[in-house]
């Protein structure tokens, strides 16, 4: 019943992955999501976002990364909150999620929680790119950083 969707997730982790634009959109559009988290998380995130009533209506993604979570997510664990001082804005939810994953992974590595990006944590991005939902390759993303300080 809506013409356009503006997606506004927050910058947070889910294990070695993130729950940003695509997770916010996909899991917000379906029910009984508990059964999908363990074994079908990546597939669900990518494939639900490919459903035309979602895919064709998302026009803007705005990630609130002023303060975010780098561990213990997707729940809110205050001891793992950090000031990212970031807002990510884009029309491509895959590219925005890629940049968000880069940010969270960097913080997790700095904190000694992981050594490198997890293939399992980024699998949903490759799936989404294969479904032509956007760009997951860092080298192909047009990224402008604006420093307001």
CA 107 to CA 47: how far, in whole Å?
28
Domain ranges for the chain, please list them. 5-140
Q: Please tell me whether residue 65 adopts helix, strand or coil conformation.
A: strand
pLDDT tens-digit series, residues 77-99 = 899 999 999 999 999 999 999 99
Question: What are the residues facing 63 on neighbouring strands?
Answer: 88
CB atoms under 10 Å from CB of 65, counted, come to: 22
Q: 18: Cβ–Cβ under 8 A, 6 or more apart, which residues?
A: 11, 12, 97, 100, 101, 104, 121
Q: Is the pLDDT of residue 73 over 90?
A: no
Share of the chain above pLDDT 90, in %: 78
| 8's tokens | 């506004």
Q: Is the pLDDT of residue 145 over 90?
A: no
Mean pLDDT for the chain overall: 92
pTM for this structure?
0.93
């Amino acid at each position: 019943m809506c013409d356009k969707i503006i997606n506004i997730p927050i910058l947070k982790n889910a294990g070695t992955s993130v729950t940003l634009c695509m997770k916010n959109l996909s899991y917000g559009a379906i029910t009984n999501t508990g059964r999908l988290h363990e074994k079908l998380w990546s597939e669900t995130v990518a494939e639900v976002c490919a459903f035309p009533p979602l895919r064709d209506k998302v026009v803007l993604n705005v990630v609130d990364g002023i303060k975010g979570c780098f561990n213990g997510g997707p729940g809110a664990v205050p001891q793992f909150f950090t000031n990212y001082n970031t807002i990510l804005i884009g029309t491509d939810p895959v590219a925005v999620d890629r940049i968000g994953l880069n940010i969270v992974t960097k913080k997790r590595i700095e904190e000694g929680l992981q050594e490198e990006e997890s293939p399992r944590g980024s699998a949903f991005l490759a799936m989404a790119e294969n479904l032509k939902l956007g760009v997951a390759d860092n080298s192909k993303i047009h990224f402008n950083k604006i420093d307001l300080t």
